[in-house]
């Protein structure tokens, strides 16, 4: 196997643990805090989690290790989309486990939660682990999106654990996966399986955070990678002076990624889905807002710009959501056949015009034809519009072009389009994510050793140097509330959206007028793993602002 | 102005000069070599360049500076597309000029060659220059694509130089710009203007190289940036195991960028335009070749892959070139109106079927409809097909899908698409490009000081540490031959295409079978500016192989 120079060099990197975990495992003790309550719907959540609800928050500190000495066999699962640092969670877990007792065993279940059900696994050893230290990707064991949520699955999982003598499972995943981890922990506790479950907060989207979890891992590296590219494109725009770049970034529901990239790169425009929803903005309003920037800049001779578009923004435009619902209704069942039978787009267009409300047709009618056709021609197996396929970066540039034409704008407006997502999910983890993930994994084993279950591995105080980080655990139920999902009330971890009165958005709001009219680009450049600390060790602007720090 | 941590840190970087230029300007002397001849068409080129043809190649070495002491006023121009390191050429030029005599003046003509004609300039000082050291982009003075090629333009240029007392112009550009630099040098010499012209080899495409110029600047940084992204996507593909990524990279004529990225990342597929042309490959042949990889991998359970597509590849497919020519003919003049008047795509399709030869229609007919429509509906102001707009990454994935369907392939094939170009043209220059560019600029001033004109600033032995680099100059006419351009015989610098018997392609050819069937990805990661030398100082695999080194 041929590996790159950087990969070789990164093998040598020793991730930084929180100060309190640096004294060796025999010198880590537990400090229990108060009992916890769920963030909402306490009675309902308590009833659903009788064995794991209300447990105490805990932190680790220096002191004699009082856990019961026994051999541990632990299983680990990667769940959902890739995020930089996943490998290091496993490395930290492995190192803590082997440091405690070389006979301890770590099983890696392959290709996501289904690996546990299918009993498809590897047993890690030093050589295997060493090939993945400080690397990106989830290829160490693969990931998958199977959800563990039925009792049937839990039963099989319990059998698999019993077969291997596994007494703890670590699930590395996002809000859904950690919700399922809590349900699994409750099942295992209720059925006296003796298997603990610990979660680790993963997602590049940044929407798994709350008063306990300061950020999910991978967000730092992914946003740094996107910001590198956006900054490079800004510099190109400012050099060539002839293109507006519309850049879509990943993030279906929350706009944390877009916002962090904006804070890093100071583009002319950045849409925030949560604001679009809160202000009930229409497509025209958004297009006009962007067109204002194009015009103002054009008047100063700056026929170029950069606009960041969060992937999911159109779903947050109320009138667009209504249009989609009407289209899904219009093409439900047999009606789709009638529609499909129409020979030309012109005939289809008339069918659509007759079938939509006047209000929704007006929205439909301002869309560029390519998007119109996409809405009707590319539907999922249930006949529904595939919103995720909509090229919103092209949609907005087309709408802006129309607005400018209607205004009689005489200046130049040439748009180019980009989408950044897959480029950042498997980058080599930044030093921050390398350290944070390794600490999460190491800390997860401490929670296991001390017998906790239904906990999320928690490392906090993250805007400070690692020596000041605080390690501990938080009952997952504390982060839950009841939400309506697919027609059922479900206990779930509340997804963290961008808060419009939070410091990161406030900072953006205070500067965006200037950014839209002037050229205030900043160029972060590529992620650095070496060099001065301020270049290679700082985490996100989002976290700094949330912590009340200056940026 | 807010600048990033990396930009601040990069200001402090001191670019490495070739060893022989490190002793201070008073200790640099000239060693003249043999007289030169153009690479072909010697008599014709000699006749066109009576004053600048046949000059000697020169190198600099340690020794007493024997140039005539005088005040120098120099103008510098950035020409054409951005390439990382352009700013450093200007910084090196400025430093050499000021080190020689603080009264020397450097003018920067704005927004490309037109700045010289329009007398639009800045005068550099320390504060201005220091804000751009080791940064990407051409925003220091902007760039442009105006060509300096008529006597009328040359006359104005001479006047502008005279007005400011400028006695030398440095043109930073690609093969066309340096061709024009040679013509300008000849004009200035023939008209006794006393103005010298020196060129510097720029282009991320890598197609300005020959036995004298080992590589153009920017190629290193741009390919490292694309390789970072391709590697990240490979790791994502290998983790998610469900997508084939079709990645188009910049490079309209030569495939050096695609090839270098392939050497860095070992993807499953990389098309090379020069090979497609040499083997007269058809679209079907290429699609079948990719489909073979999809099938072979699918059989082993690997329903994922990565294919690199050079931007210009379709233009190299003979049958496709013929199709484009026929379409242009079919829609020339009044016929376009008849075509445009047809109400539906179905009617247009029949018109096309009737108008193309059977051979070309067969090619047209295998294209996906979106590409078919693009060919006919999006034409340039002259009515011609806009080949550069063709989304070849989508074209090939669609063709592969069709081939697989025809073969009755039952496996999964889900494609995602990417295009990387603008992401890499303005990155912070790698240490290699920072050093190389600074050296080119510094060296350009040495050529000016010693009275040379019509020379390209030349720094060679680039695969070795900078201390072993060789600085000198080469008459631009040496690199020229006569080519037919727009119906005229023109003296031009021969564009360097990928040589199918060259070491970089041979290496690729020897490995690609294995890469296509197995998963041999390498993950280069982000460009590093700090850290171990093998991580932050190495240049391209292409150059290493060309120099006979192992990779």
Give me the pLDDT at residue A345, please.
83
> pLDDT per residue over A394-435, tens digit each?
999 999 999 999 999 999 999 999 999 999 999 999 999 999
What is chain A's mean pLDDT, rounded?
Answer: 95
Q: Per the residue annotation, which of B95, B175, B176, B205 is the catalytic one?
A: B205
Task: Return the closest-CA partner of residue A4 out of B540, B535, B515.
Answer: B535
Tokens read off for A66: 């009082």
State how far residue A254 is from chain B, nearest Cα, in angstroms. 22
Does pLDDT of A487 surpass 90? no
Give me the pLDDT at residue B259, please.
98
> Which whole number is the average pLDDT over A281-308?
98
CA distance A429 to A223: 11
Q: Which residues in chain A are closer than 8 Å to B139, comparing Cβ atoms? A: 235, 238-239
Q: Name the closest residue on chain A to residue B8, using Cα atoms.
A: A535
C-alpha dist (Å) from residue B395 to A70, A95, B286, B331, B376: 59, 48, 11, 22, 15
Return residues 349-408 of B near A (CB < 8 Å).
none
Q: Nearest by CB to B6, which of A8, A233, A535? A: A535
Residue B84 vs residue A370, higher pLDDT = B84
State how far residue A251 is from chain B, nearest Cα, in angstroms. 17
Task: Return the closest-CA partner of residue B60 out of B462, B478, B457.
Answer: B457
Write the DSSP assignment of A163-226 as a string of letters: HHT--EEEEEE-HHHHHHHHHHHHHHHHTT---EEEEEEB-TT-----SS----BTHHHHHHHH
> pLDDT per residue over A489-515, tens digit each?
999 999 999 999 999 999 999 999 999
Give the count of beta carbons closer than 10 Å to the beta carbon of residue B60: 23
> pLDDT per residue over A361-379, tens digit each?
999 999 988 889 888 877 7
Q: Name the closest residue on chain A to residue B430, using Cα atoms.
A: A526
Q: Which residues in chain A are closer than 8 Å to B427, comparing Cβ atoms? A: 228, 232, 525-526
Q: Residue B52 contacts by C-beta under 8 Å, 6 or more apart in sequence?
A: B182, B185, B186, B189, B453, B454, B475, B476, B477
- Residue B305's DSSP bridge partners are B244
Give me the pLDDT at residue B277, please.
97
Q: Cβ of A236 and B137 within 8 Å?
A: yes
> Which whole number is the average pLDDT over B394-418?
96
Is B225 at the interface with chain A, CB within 8 A? Answer: yes
Does pLDDT of A382 surpass 80? no
> Which whole number is the average pLDDT over B122-131?
98
C-alpha dist (Å) from residue A338 to A330, A347, B280: 11, 11, 46
Q: Nearest by CB to A82, which of B139, B142, B239? A: B239
Rounded to 5°, angle at Cα A392 from A391 and A393: 90
Task: Using pLDDT thresholds of 50, 70 and 90, give the confidence band for residue B196.
Answer: very high
> Which whole number is the average pLDDT over B254-269?
98
Which helix (H) or strand (E) segment holds residue A443: the answer is: helix A431-449
C-alpha dist (Å) from residue A401 to A244, A366, B194, B494: 11, 11, 50, 41
Tokens read off for A90: 């496993």
Does pLDDT of B355 surpass 80? yes
> pLDDT per residue over A28-68, tens digit each?
999 999 999 999 999 999 999 999 999 999 999 999 999 99
User: Sign of torsion, CA A363 A366 A371 A374?
Assistant: positive
Task: Using pLDDT thresholds of 50, 70 and 90, give the confidence band for residue B39.
Answer: very high
Give me the pLDDT at residue B1, please.
65
Task: Return the closest-CA partner of residue A515 out of A284, A310, A274, A259.
Answer: A259
Does pLDDT of B15 surpass 70? yes
Least confident of A446-460, B346-360, B515-529: B346-360
Q: Which residues in chain B are closer than 8 Å to A398, comparing Cβ atoms? A: none
Q: What is the pTM of this model?
A: 0.97
> Which whole number is the average pLDDT over B70-98?
97
Least confident of A371-380, B182-191, B360-369: A371-380
CA distance A227 to A348: 42
- Residue B205 annotated to the active site: yes
In percent, how much of chain A has pLDDT > 90?
Answer: 89
Q: Residue A159 contacts by C-beta under 8 Å, 6 or more apart in sequence?
A: none
Q: Name the closest residue on chain B to residue A145, using Cα atoms.
A: B240
Beta strands in A69-142 (DSSP E): 73-78, 105-109, 121-123
Q: Per the residue annotation, which of A95, A205, A212, A220 is the catalytic one?
A: A205
Is A418 at the interface with chain B, CB within 8 A? Answer: yes
Does ipTM surpass 0.85 in this model? Answer: yes
Q: In what order do the strands lie in the sheet with A244-249?
A: A269-270, A305-310, A244-249, A415-420
Is B529 at the interface with chain A, CB within 8 A? Answer: yes
User: Sign of torsion, CA A210 A214 A216 A222?
Assistant: positive
Residue B389 vs residue A467, higher pLDDT = A467
SS3 A416: strand
Beta strands in B217-368 (DSSP E): 244-249, 269-270, 305-310
CA distance B545 to B543: 5
CA distance B469 to B18: 5
Q: Name the closest residue on chain A to residue B541, using Cα atoms.
A: A4
Give me the pLDDT at residue A378, please.
73
Q: Cβ of A240 and B2 within 8 Å?
A: no
Tokens read off for A450: 């001390």
Return residues 86-145 of A near B (CB < 8 Å).
111, 135-139, 142-143
Give me the pLDDT at residue B30, please.
97
In percent, how much of chain B has pLDDT > 90?
Answer: 89
How would you classify the pairing of strands A56-62 and A470-475? antiparallel
Least confident of A182-191, B132-141, B144-153: B144-153
Q: Name the closest residue on chain B to residue A79, using Cα atoms.
A: B240
Give me the pLDDT at residue A446, please.
98
Give me the pLDDT at residue A302, please.
97
């Amino acid at each position: 196997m041929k590996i790159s120079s950087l990969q070789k060099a990164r093998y040598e990197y020793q991730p930084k643990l929180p100060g309190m975990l640096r004294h060796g495992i025999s010198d880590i003790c537990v400090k229990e805090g108060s009992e916890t309550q769920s963030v909402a719907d306490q009675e309902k959540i308590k009833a659903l989690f009788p064995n794991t609800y209300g447990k105490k928050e805990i932190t680790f500190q220096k002191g004699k290790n009082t856990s019961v000495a026994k051999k541990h066999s632990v299983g680990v699962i990667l769940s959902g989309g890739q995020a930089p640092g996943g490998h290091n969670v496993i490395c930290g877990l492995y190192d803590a486990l082997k440091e405690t007792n070389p006979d301890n065993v770590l099983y890696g279940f392959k290709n996501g939660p289904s690996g546990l059900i299918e009993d498809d696994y590897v047993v890690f050893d030093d050589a295997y682990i060493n090939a993945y230290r400080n690397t990106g990707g989830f290829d160490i064991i693969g990931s998958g999106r199977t959800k563990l949520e039925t009792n049937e699955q839990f039963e099989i999982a319990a059998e698999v654990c019993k077969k291997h003598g596994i007494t703890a499972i670590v699930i590395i995943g996002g809000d859904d996966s950690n919700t399922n981890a809590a349900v699994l922990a409750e099942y295992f506790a209720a059925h006296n399986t003796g298997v603990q479950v610990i979660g680790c907060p993963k997602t590049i989207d940044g929407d798994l955070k709350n008063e306990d979890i300061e950020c999910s891992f991978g967000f730092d590296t992914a946003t740094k990678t996107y910001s590198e590219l956006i900054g490079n494109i800004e510099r190109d725009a400012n050099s060539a002076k002839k293109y507006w770049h519309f850049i879509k970034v990943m993030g279906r529901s929350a706009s944390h990624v877009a916002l962090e990239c904006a804070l890093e790169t100071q583009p002319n425009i950045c849409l925030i889905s949560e604001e679009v929803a809160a202000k009930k903005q229409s497509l025209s309003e958004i297009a006009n807002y962007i067109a204002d920037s194009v015009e103002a800049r054009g008047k100063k001779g700056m026929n170029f710009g950069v606009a960041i578009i969060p992937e999911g923004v159109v779903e947050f435009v109320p009138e667009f959501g209504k249009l989609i619902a009407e289209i899904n209704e219009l093409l439900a069942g047999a009606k789709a056949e009638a529609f499909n039978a129409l020979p030309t787009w012109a005939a289809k267009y008339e069918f659509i015009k007759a079938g939509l409300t006047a209000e929704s047709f007006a929205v439909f009618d301002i869309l560029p034809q390519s998007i119109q056709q996409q809405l009707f021609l590319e539907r999922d197996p249930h006949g529904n519009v595939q919103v995720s396929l909509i090229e919103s970066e092209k949609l907005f540039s087309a709408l802006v072009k129309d607005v400018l034409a209607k205004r009689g704008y005489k200046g130049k407006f040439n748009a180019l389009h980009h989408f950044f997502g897959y480029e950042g999910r498997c980058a080599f983890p930044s030093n921050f994510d390398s350290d944070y993930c390794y600490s999460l994994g190491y800390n997860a084993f401490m929670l296991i050793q001390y017998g906790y279950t239904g906990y999320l591995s928690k490392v906090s105080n993250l805007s400070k140097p690692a020596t000041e980080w605080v390690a501990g655990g938080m009952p997952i139920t504390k982060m839950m509330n009841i939400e309506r999902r697919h027609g059922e009330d479900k206990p779930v971890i509340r997804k963290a959206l961008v808060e419009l009165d939070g410091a990161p958005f406030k900072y953006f709001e205070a500067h965006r007028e200037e950014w839209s009219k002037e050229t205030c680009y900043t160029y972060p450049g590529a992620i650095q793993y070496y060099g001065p600390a301020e270049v290679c060790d700082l985490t996100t602007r989002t976290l700094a602002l949330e912590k009340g720090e200056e940026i």
